[in-house]
Amino acid sequence: MEVLGIDVGGSGVKGIPVDTKDGKLLKERLRIPTPQPATPQAIADTVAEIARHFKWRGIIGVGFPAAIRNGVVETAANIDKSWIGTEINTLFKETTGCETFSINDADAAGMAEAKFGEGKKFKKVMVMLTVGTGIGSAVFTKGKLVPNTEFGHLILKNMVAEHYASDAARKNEDLSWDEWGMRFNEYLHLLERLMYPDRFILGGGVSKKFDKFKHTLDVHAEVMPAKLLNHAGIIGASIAAKKALK
Ligand code: BGC
Mean pLDDT of 160-177: 98
Q: Which of 135, 139, 145 to mutate to test the pocket of ligand 1 (most atoms within 8 A of CB)?
A: 135
Q: Indicate the burial class of 131 (C-beta count within 10 angstroms; 0-12, 13-18, 19 or more).
A: buried
Q: Decide: 16 and 233 in contact? Cβ < 8 Å.
A: no
Relative orientation angle of helices 232-245 and 105-116, to the nearest 10 degrees: 90
Q: What is the pLDDT of residues 26-82, one digit of tens each?
A: 999 999 999 999 999 999 999 999 999 999 999 999 999 999 999 999 999 999 999
pLDDT for 177 equals 98
CA dist., res. 20 & res. 2, Å (int): 6
Q: Where are the alpha helices (DSSP H) in 54-87?
A: none
CA dist., res. 188 & res. 129, Å (int): 10
Map out the domains of the chain with their CATH numbers.
Answer: 2-107+232-245 (3.30.420.40), 121-227 (3.30.420.40)
Q: Decide: 177 and 209 in contact? Cβ < 8 Å.
A: yes
Residue 230 has pLDDT above 90, yes or no: no
Report pTM.
Answer: 0.97
Mean pLDDT of 180-188: 98
The amino acid at 2: E
Q: Whose CA is nearest to atom 12 of ligand 1?
A: 65
Q: Decide: 74 and 84 in contact? Cβ < 8 Å.
A: yes
Q: Decide: 59 and 99 in contact? Cβ < 8 Å.
A: yes
Residue 205 has pLDDT above 90, yes or no: no
Span from the CA of 129 to the centroid of ligand 1 (angstroms): 10
CA dist., res. 131 & res. 28, Å (int): 24
> Which atom in ligand 1 lies closest to the alpha carbon of residue 75?
8
Average pLDDT, rounded, for the chain? 96
pLDDT for 246 equals 82
Q: What is the pLDDT of residues 145-163, one digit of tens each?
A: 999 999 999 999 999 999 9
Question: What secondary structure letter does DSSP report for 87?
Answer: B
Q: What is the pLDDT of residues 117-127, one digit of tens each?
A: 998 999 999 99
pLDDT for 229 equals 77
